[in-house]
Amino acid sequence: MSARKKLFSTQMMVRVALLSAVSFVLFRFFEIPLVGFYKLDLSGIPVLLAGFSMGPQAGLLTLLVKDLLGLIGSSSGGIGEIADFVMLACLTLPPTLAYARRRDRRTVLWGMLAGTLLMIPAGMALNYFVLIPLYTSFMSVEGIVSMMDQAVPFLTIDSLPKLIFYVTGPFNLIKGLAISAVTYLIYPYVSPLLKKGRV
C-alpha cells in the first residue's frame, strides 16, 4: 500500500509541476492588454484543472509553485505574485472544494460563479490597498486615475474609488468568467490525461 501511495504522490507532483510550468508561461508571456495597466492572463486555467482532477490542495500547490516561479524577474518585488495568489485562490477554492464533494456540472458552474464573485472584492481590496500604492512609486495616484480616465472615455474616472469600482471590479469579473469558461470547456478533454494512473 505504501508503494502505491508513493507512486500516486510522485505522479501527482509530476502533474502539478507540469501544470505549474504551463501556468507560469501563460502568466508571464501571454497577457492580453484590456485597459490601462490591467492585462488579462489565463494562468488560472491550469490551476483549476489541477484542482478539479487532483483535489483543491493540488490546485493551490500548482498556484503556489507558479507564483514562486513568478518571483524570478518580478517587477513588483513579489507583491504582484502575492496578490495573484490570493485572487486565484479565491477563484479556485469554491469550485474545487464543491466538486470534491459532488461531481456534476451544476456544482462546477455554481462553484465557478461563487469563485468569480469572491475574486471581485478580493481584487478590488488588493488593488486599493496594495497594488496601486505600489505603482505610486512610478506614478502619482492622480496620474494613474487620469490614465484610466483617458483609457475609458465613456466613464468619468476622477478618483481612486471610482477607478476601483468602474475598472478593477469589472476587470476581475471578466477575468474570472474567462478562466472559468475556458476551463469548463476543455476539462472533459484533458481530465483523462490528468487522472490517468491515479490510485
What are the tens digits of pLDDT across the range 124-138? 998 888 888 877 777
Q: Give the whole-number percent of the chain exceeding pLDDT 70.
A: 91
Q: Cα separations (Å) of 72 from 66, 126, 132?
A: 11, 21, 21
pLDDT at 49 over 90: yes
pLDDT at 8 over 60: no
How far apart CA 31 and CA 41 sit, in angstroms, is 5
Nearest to 32 by CA among 133, 182, 143, 157: 182
Question: Are 166 and 153 a contacting pair, CB within 8 Å?
Answer: no
According to DSSP, the residues that pair with 33 across neighbouring strands are: 39
How far apart CA 14 and CA 190 sit, in angstroms, is 16
Question: How far is the first Cα of the chain from the last one, in angstroms, to the nearest whole number?
Answer: 10
* Residue 144, pLDDT score: 85
Domains and CATH numbers, the chain: 2-195 (1.10.1760.20)
- Tell me the pTM: 0.83
